Structure 1
Amino acid sequence: MSKNRQHAAEFLDKALADGVNMREEEMHFSYNGVLYPTVVCNPDTFKALESFEARKDDVILVGYPKTGTNWLDHILSTLESTAAKYTEEELKQQVAIGKELAMAQRLEFGDPEIYERMKKFPYRRILITHLHPQALPTSIFKKKAKVLVLIRNPKDTAVSYFHFSNGMTCLPTSTWDQFFTKFMTGKVGWGSYFDHVAEWDKYINDENIMAISYEELKEDLNLGLKKIAKFFDFFLTEEEIQNVAEKSSFKAMKEKSSETHGSAGDIFFRRGTIGDWRSLFSEAQNQEMDRRFEERLAGTKLGAKIKYDIYCKVRGDKQPS
């Protein structure tokens, strides 16, 4: 669980250690036509996930890799604990229970028995996942659990994913040109970015599903926190919202990244800016991404929320950061 930061750091440190001696062809496996990283996922866990029992009060965050899920995980955990007014003793109990149950920090991570252990968690659960809706257990939708869908513009997502992959020993390294081709063809962990956004767009009119963008959170974090709090029925004062925002700045999280993410802290929290794609994209790659976005996501509600023309078009003016 996200409340158990120490366990998350240990989990990531083990993943890095396990990846050191792995051959590139061993680093991913395919499940239902989508690639997943071997050190954190396995096919038996995916089979067990099908029968996972969601709770109506589960707080669920969905986001493609490198769209800001680690950042928003922290935000959700802080909002929920602030709203719930847990005592110090209750917070200690949550950490102890989380470590005892050895629950991974992503819904699809870990061993197949993880879902049985999750049943024993007595507090409101915060569940984070990179999966598209068809890969999630049907109980999430049947129980009408609330799902927050996080999106980020595809150019910055690709660049962030490239640096992340090259920094993690358990993922294949590549040149930018090689990675760009993999990203555009969906030959990376969790598959195609475009498939992910397009599939979640089909659910966006559901009253139990809300979308928020990485860019709007960067532009006005306080406003974004208020939207999230309202959606999940977290009742916080203006002062509490401001306090959460201060604790959730990129600088604050980067400073604590070694505690929350172990030796991978600097890899997870590299820059946290908008417009970093300009450092790597060639003119041809810009045009290819523009065409793909137009073909797959233009005209969709999530596509509109990305504000592609503002954040991804080549201009002489400086992009927001």
Structure 2
Amino acid sequence: MGYSISKIRHNMDHEHCLATKTWIRLFKRTGTPTYFERDAFLVDYGQLEKLNNTPSPRAIKSHLPLHLLPVDLWRVQPKIIYIARNPKDVAVSTFHMISDGHKIFSGSIEDYFDLFMDNRTLFAPHYAHVLAYWELRNWDNFLFLTYEQLLNDRFDEVKKIAKFLESKYGEDELKQLTEYASFGNMQKLHIPKNDYQFFRKGKAGGFFDEMTENYIKKFDEWTTVHFKDSDFKFAI
């Protein structure tokens, strides 16, 4: 989905600092590949110079929670797109990334589930991350999307993003863009590292294949408790 946002964004132009960017905010592992920024690791990855030398317009992806956003973001008010995903799929997907991909976690998948619900994972708590951005959903420069919506009707979601970014494309162009940004095409374009495919499954409800009924129940109870005072609900 991130590639489509970048392509849609190309005819926008903001001159000042953060206004040259479309910020794509998401909790870890919601399906959007990195462009120039990866949060606290930006300098370590050697991307800061590349970002500073990239002409407008730019699309920046980050996992940062709301309270850690740059202060200038609120003054300049660039376009911000946030993508939320149900916590069960997030937990499963992140486990495979840190275990099979980065190889920095040696515990079991159940160990990771417990850490996730105990808010002891990177960018946690998941619920606080989502709820904070949900409060901004009615801002003119903010678009709140869900991973499940993007999968359910990719064409309509691409049109929604194009409208939000004030980009003007014909139906045929948007259809081409939708196909380009499809999971299958992204999987073909991505070169796996260390035999790990970043684009692993790309579906909603993949947790059913790897999460026991007991953990599904635990996650559902955990989600109900933390989202009980919000009108935001996950599709699954």
TM class by smaller structure: 0.7 to 0.9
Q: Where does residue 7 of structure 2 map in the other structure?
A: none
Distance 1:219 1:194, change over 3 A: same
Q: Does 1:151 align with 2:81?
A: no
Letter in 1 for 2:21: D
- The residue aligned with 2:155 is 222
What one-letter code is carried by the residue in structure 1 that aligns with 2:153? D
Q: What residue ranges of structure 1 are gaps of 5+ in the alignment?
A: 4-52, 75-103, 312-321
Aligned twin of 1:192: 125
**Alignment match, 2:212:** 282
1:18-52 deviation per Cα after TM superposition (whole angstroms, max 9, x unaligned): xxxxxxxxxxxxxxxxxxxxxxxxxxxxxxxxxxx
Tell me the distance in 2 between the aligned counterparts of 1:108 and 1:124.
22
Deviation at 1:57, TM superposition (A): 4.1
**Residue identity matched to 2:31:** G
**Would the alpha carbon gap of residues 63 and 230 (structure 1) be closer, same or farther in structure 2, given more than 3 Å must change?**
same
Looking at structure 2, the residues matched to 253 and 119 of structure 1 have their Cα atoms a distance apart, in angstroms, of: 26
Indicate the residue corresponding to 1:29 in structure 2: none
1:61 alignment counterpart: 24
Partner Cα distance (2:182, 2:129) in 1: 27
1:1-321 alignment runs, 5 A limit: 54-70=17-33, 104-111=36-43, 115=48, 118-258=51-191, 262-263=192-193, 266-301=196-231, 303-304=232-233, 306-307=234-235, 311=236
Q: Which consecutive residues of structure 2, in runs of 5 or more, have no partner in the other structure? A: 4-15
Residue 114 and residue 255 in structure 1: after superposition, are their counterparts in 2 closer, same or farther (change >3 A)? closer
Larger radius of gyration: 1
Q: Secondary structure at the match of 2:41?
A: coil
Letter paired with 2:113 = F
**3-state SS in 1 of match to 2:61:** strand
Percent sequence identity is 24
Q: Shift of the alpha carbon at 1:288?
A: 1.8
Query: When the two structures are aligned, how many residues end up with a matched partner?
Result: 222
**TM-score using structure 1 length:** 0.63
Determine the C-alpha separation between the residues in 1 that align with 2:174 and 2:206: 28
Instruction: State the shift of 1:117 in Å.
Output: 5.8
Amino acid corresponding to residue 151 of structure 2 in structure 1: K
In 1, are the aligned partners of 2:37 and 2:48 still within 8 Å (CA)?
Answer: no
What SS does the corresponding residue of 2:193 show, helix, strand or coil? helix
Conserved 8 A contact 2:21-2:56: no
1:153 and 1:54 map into 2 onto residues whose CA distance is 33
Letter in 1 for 2:89: D
Q: Which SS does the other structure have where 1:188 is aligned?
A: coil
Q: Report the TM-score, using the length of structure 2 for normalisation.
A: 0.84
Q: Cα–Cα, structure 1 residues 114 and 66, in superposed 2: closer, same or farther, change >3 Å?
A: closer
Q: Considering only aligned residues, what root-mean-square deviation do their CA atoms show, in Å? A: 2.4
Q: Which residue of structure 2 aligns with residue 28 of structure 1? A: none
Aligned amino acid, residue 181 of structure 2: S
3-state DSSP of counterpart to 2:70? coil
Q: Deviations over 1:178-213 (max 9, x none)?
A: 010111112222222112112222322322111111
Amino acid at match of 2:134: D
SS at 1:159's partner residue?
A: helix
Classify 1:231/1:164 alpha carbon distance in 2 versus 1 (closer, same or farther; 3 Å).
same
